[in-house]
Structure 1
Amino acid sequence: MQQKKKSKNKKSTPIKITAKHTIDYKQIDLLLSCLTEQGKIKPRKITEFTLKQQRQLSKAVKRARILSLLPFVTVTEK
């Protein structure tokens, strides 16, 4: 029997975040790229963010929605 070796390749994140740079509610372009057409936040598998980045993203989206920088629901016309 052959044993499978576990690869220890770390996924690279689409954005590099250091201690000074975090995901903020003012970064509307970044937030819009992480939303679906209906206005939902994309899952971590699709965005490839780390757990910490995904938490920052969800908080930033919620803050931007409250401040009316992002819509709560995107209306699609038929």
Structure 2
Amino acid sequence: MSFQAYLDNIQKKTGKTADDFKKLADAKGFSDKGVLKPAVKATQVTNWLKEEFELGHGHAMAVYALLKGIKEEGSK
């Protein structure tokens, strides 16, 4: 499955786009302007996404990768 397919599935499940998650992460204090703060660990982000949006681990890690800058929308 491509990275973009993960993001598409997340949007179908939650109604939230990648930009929405960047804004939500900013509001939670995990990121600044959609970029994850250095002190924030993957577990903090994935636990939040699992609890609040009922995402599985793989999908939560996709959002983490987006915030961390490891992957971008449209990536394979």
- Pairwise TM-score range, normalised by the shorter structure: 0.3 to 0.5
Larger radius of gyration: 1
**Normalising by the residue count of structure 1, what TM-score does the alignment of the two structures yield?**
0.34
The structure whose residues are more often helix, as a share, is 2
Which structure is higher in RCO with an 8 Å CA cutoff and minimum separation 6?
2
Name the structure with the higher strand share. Answer: 2
